[in-house]
């Protein structure tokens, strides 16, 4: 009886403490529905937009603050961990390794451009890092993994996601026609879409558009595998950023410890991908078994973007948007150009 009383007493307190989490769940459900209807935009972008629209109506956010912070920080890390269950290293090795030189070239191009433009345009370093990483690796997932490591603000994450979204849409609309004009084969376009388009939903939309135009049947699968290969780059990038951040923090704070900055959730991401790989290789577990984790990962990212949208100042976002958009454009053009040049050099057209 006492346990029942305790439960009845605790539940309202939990609801009050994490009211922001429940609000993010509601927004995420609607955003996921809209994202499934309009794949070219995707759930995360809808979540940020809905959060920004909702924000002015929430006059007092003090009761939501704890839940919003938990969602935008911790839930985002859980999303990255669960993302690992969708990464079968054997599948990547079989199909994705052919794309490795192109992936490394495009990642290097984007990060170098972001670095120099950060200095030239005087853009905040966190936004530059997020745009560079998001453009070159895998859009929202890469931003989700990087943001906690560099301690990015919600407004910085929203800015980067918005920039990535803009060029995702342009790519999805433009690339199928561009591929036909320059004479890409089905395999060549799969490699191009998987390497030069940022977010998974946009890769899917771009590859599906090509299949609809040409009648091809393997482009979507191959483009997705190339995209998964890019996802692996999350691991070294976040670790390098963690050590870079730790070095800077150590110079400022003598009591600094690597545990404060090291992205341990990335280790769990690696463990999750190893579990998937070992289970499917040695124990004949079907990959569909891990589909629920991949779905949950996507939903968690949408939840986190909901919290980030609610915490975003729309006026400030618009005022500071010009330079990040130009940076995103340069990264996008650089990646597209280098990808096509490398394909031509390697006879993968």
Question: Residue 250's pLDDT is what?
Answer: 64
**What is the pTM for the complete model shown?**
0.83
String of DSSP letters for 33-86: HHHHH-TTT-HHHHHHHHHHHHGGG-S--TTTHHHHHHIIIIIHHHHHHHHGGG
Question: Residue 339's pLDDT is what?
Answer: 93
CA-wise closest residue to 238 among 324, 336, 151: 151
CA 115/CA 125 separation, integer angstroms: 8
CA 7/CA 274 separation, integer angstroms: 38
Radius of gyration of the chain (CA): 21
The domain ranges of the chain are 10-345
Judged by DSSP in three states, 98 sits in: helix
CA-wise closest residue to 328 among 165, 191, 211: 165
Question: Residue 5's pLDDT is what?
Answer: 47
**Mean pLDDT in order along the chain per 10 residues (349 residues):** 47 64 95 87 87 88 88 88 85 74 91 93 92 87 88 89 86 89 91 86 83 83 83 86 76 54 78 92 88 90 90 78 91 94 89
């Amino acid at each position: 009886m006492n346990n029942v009383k305790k439960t009845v007493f605790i539940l309202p307190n939990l609801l009050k403490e994490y009211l922001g989490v429940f609000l993010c769940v509601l927004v995420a459900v609607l955003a996921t529905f809209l994202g499934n209807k309009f794949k070219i935009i995707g759930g995360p972008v809808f979540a940020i937009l809905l959060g920004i629209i909702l924000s002015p109506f929430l006059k007092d956010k003090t009761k939501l603050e704890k839940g919003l912070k938990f969602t935008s920080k911790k839930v985002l890390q859980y999303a990255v961990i669960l993302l690992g269950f969708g990464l079968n290293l054997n599948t990547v090795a079989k199909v994705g390794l052919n794309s490795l030189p192109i992936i490394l070239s495009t990642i290097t191009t984007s990060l170098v451009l972001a670095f120099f433009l950060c200095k030239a345009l005087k853009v905040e370093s966190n936004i530059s890092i997020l745009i560079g990483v998001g453009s070159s690796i895998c859009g929202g997932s890469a931003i989700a993994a990087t943001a906690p490591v560099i301690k990015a603000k919600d407004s910085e994450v929203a800015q980067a996601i918005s920039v990535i979204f803009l060029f995702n849409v342009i790519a999805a609309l433009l690339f199928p026609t561009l591929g036909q004009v320059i004479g890409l084969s089905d395999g060549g376009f799969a490699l191009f879409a998987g390497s030069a388009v940022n977010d998974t939903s946009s890769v899917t939309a771009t590859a599906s558009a090509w299949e609809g135009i040409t009648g091809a049947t393997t482009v979507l699968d191959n483009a997705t595998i190339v995209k998964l290969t890019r996802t692996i780059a999350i691991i070294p990038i976040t670790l390098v950023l963690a050590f870079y951040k730790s070095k800077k923090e150590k110079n400022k704070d003598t009591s600094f410890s690597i545990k404060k900055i090291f992205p341990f959730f990335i280790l769990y991401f690696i463990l999750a991908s190893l579990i998937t790989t070992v289970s499917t290789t040695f124990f004949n577990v079907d990959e569909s078994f891990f589909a629920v984790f991949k779905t949950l990962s996507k939903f968690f990212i949408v939840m986190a973007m909901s919290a980030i949208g609610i915490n975003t100042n729309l006026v400030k976002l618009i005022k500071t948007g010009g330079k990040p958009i130009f940076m995103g454009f340069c990264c996008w053009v650089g990646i597209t150009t280098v990808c096509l040049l490398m394909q031509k050099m390697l006879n993968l057209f």
